[in-house]
Chains A and B, each alone.
Chain A
Amino acid sequence: MNIKIYAIGKVKDKNQLNAIKEYDKRLGRYCKIEMILVKNKEMLLKKLSYKSYVIKVSTEGELFTSEGLAEKIKTLGVSGTSDMAIVYSEEDIKWDEHLAVSKMDMSLGMFMTILFEQIYRGYRIIHNQAYHK
């Protein structure tokens, strides 16, 4: 599976970047994942491929569980969808699914850390591998 996570903005905090890097490394054996940060909506729309399964994430979306995300990754894989695009944005974009990590706001680096960690957790769940809380 190719997973791309898009957002408008920047992650400057070194420790947040290190956390993301760590999960990125651990995910290497399961999927291809990439964080794509752009300056504005125009750039976002330009980069975003609608051939992918698009998941919009904002505080207005539907809350989901770690098991639910694992199931989603698994189902998409089985159905032959190889590209997943996760877009963290309040912008009006075309989406296949609209989800929420939390009703609360958070920094972009925090969001990315959570997403990378949850996708890693998702693969551990799919493969029945232990993962500590």
Chain B
Amino acid sequence: MKITFISVGKIKESFYTKQIEGNIKNIKKYAQVQVIEVPDEKCPEKLSDKEMIQVKDKEGERILSKINSGDFVIALAIEGKMISTDDLKSLIKMKQTSSIVFIIGGSLGLSEKVLKRSNYKLSFSRLTFPHQLMKVLLTEQVHMVVK
């Protein structure tokens, strides 16, 4: 099984990066793992709707350039499905022959194009998380379902 994590922007807090590294190391016992961080766009406090779309589009292009045509893409999105750990386990099992790509967007979320390309939209919670914490949560969850 091959699992790729694509996220936007760098993770700064060391207590988060270390947790992510630990989780990735655990997943590697069960799958081939690739971790990709694409650069984020500068995002000032006040952006017009049009500017927000531009930011998401630019980040989206960088994400899409890392995805191959046969990949099974799972995008983390607010409007995604909320499922249990067991359900996620079944989904991953069903797709284990393909390369699975998880995507975490930047602070504004994912572009329309990325959402359109995704094969499954997943939501962890109704809570708004900092993007760094989201990556810790995702990698921990993936470790739980692959082990």
| B residues at A contact (CB < 8 Å) | 13-16, 18-19, 22, 45, 82-85, 88, 107, 124-131, 133, 136-137, 140-141, 144
Known contacts: A15-B18, A106-B140. The answer to whether A121 contacts B84 by CB under 8 A is: no
Closest-by-CB residue of A relative to B127 is A66
The answer to whether A104 touches B19, judged by C-beta atoms less than 8 angstroms apart, is no
**Max chain B Cβ within 10 angstroms of own Cβ: one of A68, A104, A121, A130:** A104
The answer to whether B107 touches A132, judged by C-beta atoms less than 8 angstroms apart, is yes
Complex CA distance for A133 and B133, rounded to whole angstroms: 10
Contact among A114, A117, A130 with B45 in the assembled complex (CB-CB below 8 Å): A130
- Which one of A16-24, A26-34, A46-54, A71-79 is at the interface? A16-24
Complex CA distance for A59 and B144, rounded to whole angstroms: 16
Contact among B16, B127, B137 with A106 in the assembled complex (CB-CB below 8 Å): B137
- B18: min CB distance to chain A, Å: 4
Q: Does A36 contact B (CB under 8 A)?
A: no
Known contacts: A15-B15, A63-B82, A114-B133. The answer to whether A107 contacts B140 by CB under 8 A is: yes
Q: Does A110 contact B (CB under 8 A)?
A: yes
18 A-B pairs with C-beta separation under 8 A: A13-B22, A15-B14, A15-B16, A18-B15, A19-B16, A19-B19, A22-B13, A66-B127, A68-B126, A103-B84, A104-B84, A104-B85, A104-B124, A104-B141, A105-B85, A113-B136, A114-B133, A117-B130
